[in-house]
Structure 1
């Protein structure tokens, strides 16, 4: 909306008046730049804010149009209406995010809401449920009104919402007493419906991560989770028809591992989008819009071609499938004539002049300056001299500030971040894709695309939620492994309520070897951690009692941890004593060089860059490790360090483990340094002997600034005259001898090591002060999420997925993880898609041959790389945005996550197809694994487990392989705790241990199932209460509990009071609080922080308190005949008086 003032001035022009007069009938506007299409559409809407339907050729065009329209008008009035993005007749339903976008927009459209609805041609021509069908569903709820509570619960289930104990993502709901939590597909945050009986007292929005309420709402409308939610009658009608088709030996939808009869018992049918006309009247998108809705078509020639391609796809797939699968004919599913019906009353926006009577406008494209800032400045100076208004747009704040510094001097009335009245030059943070000029208005809109030759933009997306830490126990399932600090690794078997010493409380059950069980009171839950190890590794289960080897294992790991900590501390201390080269502070050239970076740096990148510069400017040699996934910006960090070194007259060596990586780095470095007199060369087998010899000569002479190569750079005949910085990429992949040589170099020059394997922040904290680490864990903001499909093996889907990627200029990974059959699979794939060129890669190929294949693929000589799971993790292949994983059911979760992450490395929409064999019943584990990888892109337990697996592998890379085994022996969390303790002892500090006063009161305290039914959330609250250090934290936790689950019952109120007593007593370092038949005994230890004067004053004032005549460290409290809650309240007040 930042640019809306420009549409306001355009609306007042004579050009627009001509256009306005022709709206409502078929009208063409021609001779205009494609980048101006959204501007014209937004101007039409801003002039008369009524329902407006914008038709574009495909999904990418829709995403681009939505982003641009939001720059020109109120973003809350712009809606995407994507197609289902599924192939017909394959019985696959759309991904959750597509369903969510569609349901959000469709109900606004049929409700007559004014707004701009952007739809690809496929959404226009593909039939969808009628207005009447959609309007049957949807209930409006208002605070203060009465609604039958049970009816609301039943409605949510009928609308396709899944009932969970905790609501975290779209389409879930939970019931907790009189509270219903639900995450509506149309909302950014879930809502909490708080009932008293059947009265809806309050509606509160809440944070899905913390679960805490945010704000009150007056009302909310509940729509179905997806548009094709069927009633029982409709569901049965479809199921009956499919049963009849199945009896005729036709293929019909089936659930993974299920029988045909399962259809009757599930709330949704896979691929119902291709079957709904059996029971629902179909309609077109046009019929759902208001009769007076405006229609605007972006490039009708491209849209018509897209329509024809859709018709061809439906016809071809129907011809190939209908003989052996249940298929409705294309005319039942698509309405190609909708395109012409739309154009009969549409405003056509097109580049070329082909239509008689078309309106001509002077909105022209701008030439590309390809980063030549001087030319940009000259052009803008000329325009400003001729009284033009100039608007420079970039999607990133850092870039906007750099451009303001470069351009603001051209105009004394320049403005930043806003269009100011009277300002002739405005630098704006706006993700507009491309600019254009309005000749009649003398206005120039310029973007990154024209200035730098590339478009960098932040994508518009639904609000993402951060993921919870796995340590929270919320991901704990019965049967999972847990670690008790004193007893070792066992299986979690649930929670049981038991009476011990006359007191009823909750116990966590851990089963050890031989079936022995340990019962841990949940007020001692901090002794238990969830075991986190590596995917696919066998884990030992410990024994209890005399047979236990746990203490011996723990001692062995402790000794090993102390040795590694000692070694790291020794290396760190020795390096601190060495004298290295002290680089000078940044120069003006450094600032200019960094200003040319096209993206906004992520916070982690900025921190890493600052850490490295600080290290370089110190007297001792730098040795810093930078960890982060591929594409997160590690190379840019290294490039800036290299530039700083070269500016100080030093030479730089970049060491990589493979020739392929050397080529990639050479290309990246050369592009970044193109505008500076910095010489770069690479040494690899793709260079001739003469070229390598010349490079070595120049290194020795000091005339070559940066050399990039493999371990060949470590050879004795490579002499670098003035080496100042070494950048090592993926050091763990070098051999032992090379690592030893690198160890020596670390004591002589500054070293930056890059690793694509992430490490956890817990390990980062444990190593603080003995290993210089920088972690880049935040991805660039313009990343697209990966649309993931879990499907039965189907040649038609594979063929269409490959062709779809090739047609948009991309490449494909096809993963087949058996070397023995990969040639046969490749032959079948070539026969299936003869139009595509392909090449095979696997780990048993000779190294040089494998490198050649990868390099040819990177050079785009092939469309498809048919590979085992060795697809190189360190490589950045932004042009590969479709991955097909054959037999995905045979991969581990972290393997699947890593493979899926090989695509989606750029701003292009990426797709992952995970296939499993037809007619093979998947194991429950495989089903769960596939559903996790399909549902979550960056949240949910599956993601965190996969990340933990990779992080532990990354920890092994840093600490050594032996430590990976130690981590598996005691669990990751306990290992990190031991390492941190060892480091603190070496630094002369006390290990961090939170003192907790044991409290034994003769009163029942537990959380009943009627209050919190989910064991995982129950454990979470016990653990969080145990972690409280201040009474205010206990109060906040009590408020949160009340907010989420309603007013607590008596047993929970007693638990809360006990935790307040324990927290105060722990602050005072009270040794123990014990209730017996004579009263309450408070043991005051020698380390106690009790104020003695206040204690004596309390004893003197209140006769219920007295010191033990024999044991002077014991204070007696005899409360008399008080209720449990009153007794605890008096004890709490007494302790508070001693602070």
Structure 2
């Protein structure tokens, strides 16, 4: 199932969730796959509430806590699971579904609106109870806040969130502005800001505020009166599990058991949180059996996809796409262009020009499926890949007109190539060991000419301002001996600056030697000696 179209599976899940009264829970084989499926389902699922529950981005019984962004996403998903009505779909992984959660009452977010009263001390206490940490310096990471007189900076604990700056005047919130965490400059105003809990250890009003120490969340069962699972929150839902579900569940149980034994063998350090048994924090075999008992368990098979041409391999991808639209629509298939932005608008105009009429615009997958056969539509869903089935063809705009990647994606490609690394993945740092990838930021590097690189001494035995080895034919001498002195081998350790990787693009351009700056008196004297 490695090469199966995930967008097609997401469309099938949307169809099933639309017809299930209690909703659908999909158990993916890995956390990264669950994130991709949830993203595709959100793009296709107009009218269906799509919820993604991520897994912790740390090892079981680790000495560090999960990141505030991941715990904020989990608590936000918990709140939506308890409050979302109607058609709903939960996309999660075996690791995330097997991790117990606090009660939904502890997942309520804190909403701040412009014009409301704000008490500085009370707000700081409320944020600390939600797991936010105060920073006296810059607030540039999720789960931080910093009061500075009449200004309060706060960074919501979410993956793709931006920090906000609240200006307080006369005890009321006068303005809420989003700002750049790198430059600290305000960008846009907002009417409200939603702050989900930054930790799964939340202290309600009247409860003692725990000390925020590293690894505190691993003792969640000892610090929270009652824990629940996703199956307790949605007791009447269908469960769609991928074929690797049982294998992933057994592997996760073995990892948790090994980590618990190792943690017991090492022992708890002074001031460390309590070490709780695995069954109190995660679902064991008996808990999984009880959770699945009496439910409809559906094993998701790989959808059968109709082969589609690789447009980018064609000489004219746009023409190949338009030919496919005409052929499939004439055969009675529903054909949809999926995408939004410049590329989708360009293909939309080409389709309208070729067919003489504009495609039908639809908001989501369910509306597209309701169209009669032979209809050509524009599905405003930001998909990165399309799919094809019997009677339906969906082509993503990125498959026909690849555009320049946005800033963050371009940085990731520059650093990792085509590797599928995402923020939150486990990586090995060259100095700090096992870590979690938080993201990539652009930094200003010095120009190549001001940052030369030097080869080892044993790789060069000469140095010359004219870049000519001593064995090359001599130039015409002027009698001053300067050329010979410049080409004389150096007795000490030689150094020769070599260009950086980007110098290949400048190889055709000849470097210019700076003009000599003669003293003012000498220039005047030379001008005076010139014959008239």
Contact 2:69 2:143 in 1 (8 A): no
Q: 1:58 offset after TM fit, Å?
A: 1.2
Aligned equivalent of 1:445: 394
- 1:812-857 C-alpha deviation (Å, 9 max, x unpaired): xxxxxxxxxxxxxxxxxxxxxxxxxxxxxxxxxxxxxxxxxxxxxx
Pairs within 5 Å for 1:592-671: 599-602=402-405
Change (3 A) 1:338 1:410: farther
Q: 1:95 offset after TM fit, Å?
A: 3.2
- 1:847-895 C-alpha deviation (Å, 9 max, x unpaired): xxxxxxxxxxxxxxxxxxxxxxxxxxxxx8xxxxxxxxxxxxxxxxxxx
SS of the residue corresponding to residue 404 of structure 2 reads: coil
Change (3 A) 1:413 1:161: same
Q: 1:85 offset after TM fit, Å?
A: 2.8
- 1:1012-1056 C-alpha deviation (Å, 9 max, x unpaired): xxxxxxxxxxxxxxxxxxxxxxxxxxxxxxxxxxxxxxxxxxxxx
Structure 1 CA distance, aligned partners of 2:44 and 2:277?
42
Aligned equivalent of 1:214: 188
The answer to whether structure 1 residue 332 and structure 2 residue 280 are counterparts is yes
Change (3 A) 1:169 1:333: closer
Aligned equivalent of 2:71: 99
Change (3 A) 1:391 1:329: same
Pairs within 5 Å for 1:959-970: none
Aligned equivalent of 1:280: 224
Change (3 A) 1:86 1:395: farther
- 1:460-487 C-alpha deviation (Å, 9 max, x unpaired): xxxxxxxxxxxxxxxxxxxxxxxxxxxx
Aligned pair partner of 2:100 in 127, 143, 150: 127
Change (3 A) 1:272 1:177: closer
Structure 2: runs of 5+ lacking an equivalent: 269-274, 456-462, 466-494, 496-511, 517-532
Aligned pair partner of 2:428 in 913, 930, 936: 913
Structure 1: runs of 5+ lacking an equivalent: 1-31, 237-266, 353-362, 449-455, 458-594, 604-777, 785-875, 877-900, 918-929, 966-981, 987-1139
Structure 2 CA distance, aligned partners of 1:76 and 1:951?
50
Aligned pair partner of 1:58 in 2, 14, 30: 30
Change (3 A) 1:215 1:399: closer
The answer to whether structure 1 residue 424 and structure 2 residue 362 are counterparts is no
Q: 1:69 offset after TM fit, Å?
A: 0.6
Contact 1:56 1:120 in 2 (8 A): yes
Pairs within 5 Å for 1:23-62: 35-46=7-18, 52-62=24-34
Q: 1:227 offset after TM fit, Å?
A: 1.9
Structure 2 CA distance, aligned partners of 1:951 and 1:106?
46
Contact 1:234 1:279 in 2 (8 A): no
The answer to whether structure 1 residue 937 and structure 2 residue 439 are counterparts is yes
SS of the residue corresponding to residue 244 of structure 2 reads: helix
Contact 1:393 1:431 in 2 (8 A): yes
Q: 1:223 offset after TM fit, Å?
A: 3.5
The answer to whether structure 1 residue 305 and structure 2 residue 247 are counterparts is yes
Aligned equivalent of 2:333: 388
Contact 2:14 2:45 in 1 (8 A): yes
Structure 2 CA distance, aligned partners of 1:213 and 1:33?
38
Structure 1 CA distance, aligned partners of 2:134 and 2:437?
14
Structure 2 CA distance, aligned partners of 1:281 and 1:983?
76
Change (3 A) 1:290 1:195: farther
- 1:1085-1116 C-alpha deviation (Å, 9 max, x unpaired): xxxxxxxxxxxxxxxxxxxxxxxxxxxxxxxx
Pairs within 5 Å for 1:80-229: 80-112=52-84, 115-131=88-104, 134=106, 138-158=109-129, 159-186=131-158, 188-198=161-171, 200-208=172-180, 209=183, 211-212=185-186, 214-217=188-191, 220-229=193-202
Structure 2 CA distance, aligned partners of 1:935 and 1:364?
35
Give 1 or 2: higher helix fraction. 1
Q: Work out which structure has the larger RCO, using CA pairs closer than 8 Å and 6 or more positions apart in sequence.
A: 2
Pairs within 5 Å for 1:547-626: 599-602=402-405
SS of the residue corresponding to residue 69 of structure 1 reads: helix
Q: 1:315 offset after TM fit, Å?
A: 2.4
Contact 2:78 2:104 in 1 (8 A): no
Larger radius of gyration: 1
Q: 1:174 offset after TM fit, Å?
A: 2.6
Q: 1:276 offset after TM fit, Å?
A: 1.9
Structure 1 CA distance, aligned partners of 2:118 and 2:222?
34
Aligned equivalent of 2:359: 415
Q: 1:112 offset after TM fit, Å?
A: 4.3
Q: 1:313 offset after TM fit, Å?
A: 1.5
Q: 1:600 offset after TM fit, Å?
A: 1.4
Aligned pair partner of 2:301 in 333, 338, 351: 351
Q: 1:936 offset after TM fit, Å?
A: 5.9
Aligned equivalent of 1:474: none
Q: 1:307 offset after TM fit, Å?
A: 0.9
Q: How many correspondences in the alignment?
A: 431
SS of the residue corresponding to residue 185 of structure 1 reads: coil
